[in-house]
Amino acid sequence: MLLAARSRMTLPHSCPFDPTGGYSPEQLRQLRPVIEEPSDFADFWRGTFDEAMCAPLDWSLKPSAHPGNAEQEVFDIEFAGMLGNRIGGWLTKPRRQPLRRGLLIGHGYGGRDAPDLAPPVGDAATIQPVCTGLPTRSLHAGIPAQGMDHVLHGIGRRETYVHRHCVMDLWRAASVLHEAVPGSRPRLDYLGGSFGGGIGALALPWDRRIRSAFLCVPSFGNHPLRLQLPCDGSGESVRLLAQRQPEIRNVLSYFDAAIAARHTTIPVIVAAAAFDPAVPPAGQYSVYHALGGPKELFPLTAGHYDGYPGQSREDLELQAALRRFFA
């Protein structure tokens, strides 16, 4: 279902580029991405999933110093990463409602320093891992923690690219949630925005445990187009490197969230922005349009931009849409 698009709005900014990418809301709605898919794309990701599932989890759970709130009890969680590292994060359980399901929750490229205590459903245990190399719980001595540098780590080969390990972190976190909280097994859903939207899109097609998903302003969609569009997010580092090393385009084709979306058949709701200085809107909409299953679009006026007129209303409408979608 496609909600009525917001009217186009010119927002003040100091970017040396157009945060709309030159696309009007109508053009974004009509965008149909044409992206060449590697012939072994699915085989690569199925093999990656099998690798992630076969490695020992070696997880631990303990009460957290985070106080939680009246609705959510918080625990610190750790498990083994795929690079000999430890992945940290948080696990929450509902205090007042019966536990019926699980939520796997991603994060943006800034990492995470505290758990989200306001999930769209109240009857879920959540696991909120911090992906490999990112602050504050999964720092790695050999991987830059800043998004503009992290996004380039290991990019020379598809097997070593850090985003591959970040996707595996999500799958392994889901396994930890199911082992630590068996009551979460009946239904697992995914929520992630920006970095977490793109990494989540890469993870969704291959893990049959995930029943539905929310992707907010998802990154990493339609790399061939993204490499033509300046931004002030991590994609700018990739765009500039590709100008010097065009061979990385081949690696990026295996980490394109829009290509992965073609293989996704579960219901997905996408919040995509028409104005976004960090993640080009055309990339976000490419992910939405490429989805292969039931899908719903929640058009946002802007992403990675605070204080625009109507933002509070949009936030409330989006929260209501998520409660309905995940009900």
Q: What is the pLDDT of residue 7?
A: 42
pLDDT in tens, 120-167: 999 999 999 999 999 999 999 999 999 999 999 999 999 999 999 999
Mean pLDDT for 285-297 is 98
Mean pLDDT for 80-103 is 97
Asked if residue 55 belongs to a domain, the reply is: yes
Check if the beta carbon of residue 263 is closer than 8 Å to that of residue 236. Answer: no
Which residues, 6 or more positions from 195, have their beta carbon under 8 angstroms from its beta carbon?
A: 106, 107, 108, 109, 131, 147, 219, 234
What are all long-range contacts of 2-8, with beta carbons under 8 Å and residues at least 24 apart?
2/29, 2/296, 2/297, 3/296, 3/297, 3/298, 3/299, 5/29, 5/274, 5/299, 6/274, 6/299, 6/300, 6/301, 6/310, 6/314, 8/274
Pair type for strands 72-80 and 60-63: antiparallel
What are the structure tokens assigned to 37, written together?
A: 């898919």
Structural domain total, the chain: 1
255: confidence class by pLDDT, cuts 50, 70, 90: very high
Check if the beta carbon of residue 174 is closer than 8 Å to that of residue 86. Answer: no
Q: Which residue has the tokens 């061939």?
A: 224
Asked if residue 84 belongs to a domain, the reply is: yes
Mean pLDDT for 19-31 is 97
H or E element in which residue 78 lies: strand 72-80
Asked if residue 92 belongs to a domain, the reply is: yes
Mean pLDDT for 93-119 is 97
Asked if residue 306 belongs to a domain, the reply is: yes
> Is residue 95 predicted with pLDDT exceeding 90?
yes
192: confidence class by pLDDT, cuts 50, 70, 90: very high
Asked if residue 120 belongs to a domain, the reply is: yes
> Is residue 6 predicted with pLDDT exceeding 50?
no
Mean pLDDT for 275-299 is 98
Asked if residue 180 belongs to a domain, the reply is: yes
4: confidence class by pLDDT, cuts 50, 70, 90: very low
Arithmetic mean of pLDDT over the chain: 96
9: confidence class by pLDDT, cuts 50, 70, 90: low
Asked if residue 142 belongs to a domain, the reply is: yes
What are the structure tokens assigned to 174, written together?
A: 């889901």
Mean pLDDT for 253-258 is 98
Mean pLDDT for 98-111 is 98
Mean pLDDT for 178-207 is 98
Annotate 13-25 with three-state secondary structure: CCCCCCCCCCCCH
Asked if residue 245 belongs to a domain, the reply is: yes
Q: Above pLDDT 70, what percent of the chain?
A: 97
Containing structural domain, residue 272:
25-326
Q: What is the pLDDT of residue 10?
A: 79
CATH at 113: 3.40.50.1820
Q: What is the pLDDT of residue 3?
A: 39
pLDDT in tens, 50-84: 999 999 999 999 999 999 999 999 999 999 999 99
Check if the beta carbon of residue 143 is closer than 8 Å to that of residue 150. Answer: yes
> Is residue 5 predicted with pLDDT exceeding 50?
no
